[in-house]
């Protein structure tokens, strides 16, 4: 597909903003996907290209969080394995099934998440006792959320963060960091499936990916430096916008 020059500037800027937002609170797709679709891309091409560009950001944020000590791969490797499996199944099924029914259900699930976080001011301020062992938690939620991200996607980061805080007992900083590693896993699996279907626009995906790298570095460094109240506020804002976007689409 051919685009006017100014579109490429927009794509690059969109990648930066989506990477910045996604590394702090998830939800970068609510910025990048509408821009890609507004350019005139068919839906399947927009979604496939979005997976390519978002993989740059989630990878950059994950590496930065690992270097800063917010993630230990040894502690979450089972999550990576089961997320990979779940995402592979979900991405395969999306090519066969209609995901629109999820588009009607997910906004209401996100509203529950939003209200829970809003009326729980101590949410994610410190580590708490885990309600699951790590192997059991990652078996269940790796398969479940990996499948969901491969099959549909919107709100995946939100659901990961909520599960990690409420059920595994992580504070919000650690949960945000772990979420990005799980997101990268499911992104790269979904991207692989889309590559075989031939729907990825490589130049635009890589161009936006360069913006994603910069935005993800800025955003992930803010997560490391700022306190939990900042992350919580940003999280609530992004969840709220995601809800409105999904309800509008529905």
Average pLDDT over residues 140-146: 95
Lowest-confidence segment of 32-41, 58-67, 82-91 by average pLDDT: 32-41
227 Rama sector, left if φ>0, alpha if ψ -120 to 50, beta otherwise = beta
Contact partners, residue 78, CB within 8 Å, separation at least 6: 134, 135, 138, 139, 142
Q: Report the pLDDT averaged over residues 157-165.
A: 90
| pLDDT-based confidence at residue 101 (cuts at 50, 70, 90) | low
Tell me the backbone φ, ψ of residue 65, rounded to 5 degrees: -65, -35
Looking at residue 244, what is its pLDDT? 85
Question: 112: which 2 tokens?
Answer: 């529950």
pLDDT exceeding 70 applies to what percent of the chain? 94
Task: Average the pLDDT over 100-127 and give the result.
Answer: 74
For the chain, the first-to-last Cα distance in angstroms comes to 28
pLDDT at 102 exceeding the cut of 90 = no
The pLDDT confidence band at residue 12, using thresholds 50, 70 and 90, is: very high
User: CA-based angle 237:154:2, to the nearest 5?
Assistant: 105
Cα gap 118→233, rounded to integer Å: 9
Average pLDDT in the chain:
87
For residue 74, what pLDDT is reported? 92
Under DSSP, the state recorded for 95 is: T
Note the pLDDT tens digit of each residue in 170-179: 998 999 999 9
The pLDDT, as a whole number, for residue 245 is 79
Residue 235 has pLDDT above 90, yes or no: no
Long-range contacts (CB closer than 8 Å, 24 or more residues apart) made by 237-240: 237/25, 238/21, 238/24, 238/25, 238/26, 238/27, 238/30, 238/158, 239/25, 239/27, 239/110, 239/113, 239/114, 239/117, 239/155, 239/158, 240/114
Higher pLDDT, 59 or 22: 59
pLDDT at 112: 82
Say yes or no to pLDDT of 68 above 70.
Answer: yes
Residue with tokens 């005139």: 40
Predicted pLDDT at 67: 94
CB 64 within 8 A of CB 164: no
pLDDT tens-place string over residues 169-203: 999 899 999 999 999 999 999 899 888 878 789 99
> What is the structure's pLDDT at 193?
86
Looking at per-residue confidence, does 58 or 111 come out higher? 58
pLDDT of 99: 58
* pLDDT for the residue 233: 87
């Amino acid at each position: 597909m051919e685009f006017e020059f100014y579109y490429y500037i927009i794509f690059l800027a969109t990648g930066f903003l989506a990477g910045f937002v996604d590394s702090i609170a998830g939800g970068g797709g609510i910025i990048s996907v509408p821009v890609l679709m507004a350019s005139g891309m068919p839906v399947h091409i927009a979604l496939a290209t979005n997976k390519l560009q978002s993989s740059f950001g989630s990878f950059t944020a994950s590496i930065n969080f690992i270097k800063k000590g917010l993630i230990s791969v040894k502690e979450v490797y089972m999550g990576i394995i089961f997320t990979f499996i779940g995402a592979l199944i979900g991405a395969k099924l999306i090519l066969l099934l209609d995901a629109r029914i999820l588009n009607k259900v997910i906004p209401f699930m996100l509203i529950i998440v939003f209200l829970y976080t809003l009326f729980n001011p101590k949410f994610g301020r410190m580590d708490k006792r885990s309600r699951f062992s790590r192997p059991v938690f990652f078996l269940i939620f790796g398969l479940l959320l990996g499948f969901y991200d491969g099959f549909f996607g919107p709100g995946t980061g939100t659901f990961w963060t909520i599960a990690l805080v409420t059920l595994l007992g992580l504070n919000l900083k650690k949960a945000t960091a772990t979420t990005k590693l799980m997101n990268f896993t499911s992104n790269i699996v979904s991207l692989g499936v889309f590559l075989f279907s031939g729907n990825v626009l490589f130049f635009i995906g890589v161009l936006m990916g360069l913006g994603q790298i910069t935005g993800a570095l800025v955003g992930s460094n803010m997560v490391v430096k700022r306190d939990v109240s900042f992350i919580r506020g940003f999280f609530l804002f992004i969840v709220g916008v995601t809800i409105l976007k999904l309800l509008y689409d529905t």
